[in-house]
Structure 1
Amino acid sequence: MIVILVLIVIACLSVWLVTKWRRVKRYWLERGVPHHPPHPVLGSLTFLQRENPDPLWSSLRRRLTSVFTAAKLRSLNGITVSKAKNLLSRIDIEIQKSEPMDLRKIFTDYTTDVIGESAFGVTSNSLVDGDSIMRKVTREFGSFDLHRGLSWSSIFFFPELVDIFRFSFFPKDTVEVLRKIFRSVIAQRGGYEKEVKDARDLLDALLKIKQEAAKEDEEITEDLLLAQAAIFLLGGFETSGGALSWTIYELAWNPQCQEKLYQEVLETKRKIGGRNFDSAIVSEIPYLDCVIKETLRIYPPMGWLDRISSKEYKIDDNLTIPAGTTVYVNGVGMQMDPQYFPEPEVYNPDRFLPDNERDITPYSYMPFGEGPRNCIGIRFAYQTLRLGLAEIILKYEVRVLPNTPKPTECQVEKNGLLLMPSEKLFVEFVKRDNEFVS
């Protein structure tokens, strides 16, 4: 009797699975959408449909936005200027060594220092000391192993397994280190109870969020605040460090672009004389932004964007996207599509000169996303990239080293979420001969 019952259950389950598989397999076919045949287990990623977290997300986004206004970022200018100077000193030291410097390593040291002090108020001297507590955190955040691969795969593909196996997006030991830093700085500032009137940095903003929520009888846990800090750290240090690495490497292989940028940077420096570059000054160097944007076109931090449709959306007579459907946007595919960017593999910052940029098809260029859900740290990223790049190009010419691959031959990491180089990138730094280089 038990055997018969088991067979009936298996038969019913098999029928259900076959029926469900047929429905999944024909889903996009019936709607006339070009697609790859779905996988019998993974389907077309429709398992990523979740409860819409908009109410909490909207509240956090609104309150965090105040940290990233132009005025607030100007108040952090001194930190970024100081770290850019440390970056030049570090390059000077590395030049004296027999081995070429790893661009990604040195630039993620720089971006970690900028974020560590600007966002968390924690002294970070990775560039000077070769290490810091924040660098240990970011180094672990950027690492990958089998366990982390299983964690990420489960979070994205099999979320029902996350709680069972207690998987985490971040390494748990590293999160605890960040938690200690988080609590230590909060304690130094008077604890959760001390009222924050004006948020100076990300940590102040998170404290203020918790205090405002409490007044409205809404609970904001420490874990939720810590998650925002961790995401900002992960999303900022690696993406900006990677962007600088790709930019310097491309400029070495495209000396005409490098020379054009150098002349604009040098002209600007001569205008300001003995004053340091600051965020306002470098934002007025047109070709500097063109170079950064062209790098982000070819090497966007993430190759895709994912969104969940909040309501039913009609594309055309044949296709309507149901509410709650997870939609993936192939950002890197559009940015490398000759329909939108002629000769897409050619590094050409002129695409983003004012007269040319207005001809770019809207929403075909989205390295930071677009609309109300675009990257909240876009201004912070540009400030970090502009200052670091302007200081480097003013002081050094970067040249191709023998036996190094062309940019189009470089591979990106296959393990990880971000489009980072899978191999070390090397260039030669040669001091320039101008009145500002000692």
Structure 2
Amino acid sequence: MLLTLLVAVLACLLVILYIQHRKNSRFWAELGVPHSPPHPLLGNFECFFRHNVGIWMRDLHAKFQVPFIGIWVFRQPVLMVADPEVTRRILLSDSDLFRNRNLASGKSDPVGGLNIFTIKDPTWSNIRRRITYIFTAAKLKAMHGLLSSKSKATITRIRQDKANNKTTEIRTLFADYTTDIIGTSLFGMQNDAVGTGDSALRAVTREFMKFNWFRGLSIYSIFFWPALVDIFRFTFFPKKSVDFFRKTVNTIIEHRITNNLENNDFLDALVKMKKEKLDDGQEFSDDLLAAQATIMLQGGFDTSAVALTFMVNELAHNSKIQEKLYEELSEAKNKKDGADFNFGDLEKLVYLNCVIKESLRRYPPMGWLDRICSIDYKINDTLTLPAHTPVYINAIGMHHDPNLFPDPYKFDPDRFLPENEQNIVPFSYLPFGDGPRMCIGKRFAQMSMRYLLSELILSMELQPLPCSTTPSKMIFESKAPFLMPEHPISVEFIPRN
């Protein structure tokens, strides 16, 4: 009798799930949006732990070649947009309707859930306007000495590795550099990971770089199935690293408040927030302050380190482009009588910036931008998107669309020369996003890359190592939503005369 009852209950549950699946699977057909039939559990999200999400989105756009695709991420219908004009409206002109991201962490993960990347409005607006001033041109120019010295120290590290017959793994090297830059300039923490290969803060960022199956599952849940986060107590950042960072940041903040100290850095902005209140009268919690510091570290050190890794690997395999860049840098250096480049010099170097832009086109740190509309939204004359349906701006898909970027898999910095850049369709190139929620550290990242890349190319000729990973055969990390290499990458550094 009991067995019969259990079988009947199970059968009823299966029937209910089947009916729900049939209804859900008609969602995009009823709206007239191109789509593929969804799997009952994964939806169309077959990349789960098999392929990098960004590469999956790139290939999905190449398969359909239409402005809009309806997909299911697990059971959630999502509209994928690869139309520059609709992208402009979502990110800019109608941004007030798309204030929030779809991704979210839970109450069990305050540092992961309260940072400026994941938090919802109006708290997001409250925080954003209080920290934007940290990245003004004047403050960035003041970092010249730090960036120049750390760039030179990185070259010294490469020379030491060569003298010791050691192959330099470039992502690790560049992460040492970016950790030092962020630790000193934003947090006032003196680090020498470039010189020693280690520091207290580098131990934290080293943990951030690891993506095993459990952390991958945590990140996938936060980005694509937030309802699971509190159930399984997933976290955005490794717990051990968060505990260290929370304690360190709050200790420094309290020390500065007690002693009335100022260091003119990002933590000063958090100190100021600690003394103030939110618009609704609530105080900024210690977890909220630690969350902003943690995301600045995570969002700044590895995205720039990975971007430099892809960039250097491309240059090693493209000798003509590398030589053209060297000639520009060498000529500019001669005009300064050998003096170091400063912030303004590097901003004006046309081909240097073309190389950086092209690398970010080929390898955007995050291949898509997620948003949720607060109301029913008219996409065009035939499609109105129901309120609260997630939208993914398929940036990496547009970056590799031959109609927007001819011969898209070719590494070609010339497409960003002034006479060619004007032909790029607005809002088809989005390595840092756009609109109010665009990357707050965009200029900081560009500056740190310019300093190191210019110093590196002037000092070293880059060549591929035997059996090295060519750009066309790059394998990307499948357990992370960000675009990063799955395996270590090295190149041959040959000192220039």
TM-score (norm 1): 0.92
CA distance in 2, matches of 1:224, 1:202: 14
Within 5 Å, give how 1:105-124 maps onto structure 2: 105-124=172-191
Q: Of the candidates 228, 237, 246, which is equivalent to residue 161 of structure 1?
A: 228
Q: Which residue is equivalent to 1:398?
A: 462
CA distance in 1, matches of 2:470, 2:222: 35
Structure 1: gaps (5+ residues): 434-438
Residues 375, 4 of structure 1: CA spacing in aligned structure 2 closer, same or farther, 3 A cutoff?
same
Q: Which one scores higher on RCO, CA 8 angstroms, separation ≥ 6?
A: 2
Q: Which amino acid aligns with 2:226?
A: P
Within 5 Å, give how 1:16-415 maps onto structure 2: 16-43=16-43, 44-45=72-73, 46=76, 53-191=120-258, 194=260, 200-213=264-277, 217-415=281-479
SS in 1 for 2:30: coil
1:213 and 1:220 in contact (8 A); partners too: yes
Matched pairs, number: 430
1:24 and 1:38 in contact (8 A); partners too: no
Alignment deviations for residues 232-265 of structure 1 (CA, whole Å, 9 cap, x no partner)? 1111111101111111111111111111111111
1:306 and 1:328 in contact (8 A); partners too: yes
- Structure 1 residue 267: deviation in Å? 1.3
Alignment deviations for residues 387-410 of structure 1 (CA, whole Å, 9 cap, x no partner)? 000111111111122222321112
| Percent of aligned pairs sharing the same letter | 48
CA distance in 2, matches of 1:42, 1:401: 40
Q: Which amino acid aligns with 2:123?
A: L
CA distance in 1, matches of 2:13, 2:193: 56
SS in 2 for 1:429: strand
Alignment deviations for residues 152-202 of structure 1 (CA, whole Å, 9 cap, x no partner)? 2332344333223322111111101111221232233234x9597xx8221
1:112 and 1:237 in contact (8 A); partners too: yes
SS in 1 for 2:28: coil
- Structure 1 residue 29: deviation in Å? 1.2
Q: Which amino acid aligns with 1:392?
A: L
CA distance in 1, matches of 2:410, 2:226: 40
CA distance in 1, matches of 2:162, 2:3: 75
Residues 8, 187 of structure 1: CA spacing in aligned structure 2 closer, same or farther, 3 A cutoff?
same
Residues 50, 215 of structure 1: CA spacing in aligned structure 2 closer, same or farther, 3 A cutoff?
closer
Q: Which amino acid aligns with 1:280?
A: G
- Structure 1 residue 18: deviation in Å? 3.1
- Structure 1 residue 215: deviation in Å? 8.4
Q: Which amino acid aligns with 1:27?
A: F
2:217 and 2:479 in contact (8 A); partners too: no
Alignment RMSD (CA, Å)? 2.4
- Structure 1 residue 99: deviation in Å? 3.3
SS in 1 for 2:316: helix
1:195 and 1:211 in contact (8 A); partners too: no
Q: Which amino acid aligns with 1:69?
A: T
2:343 and 2:447 in contact (8 A); partners too: yes
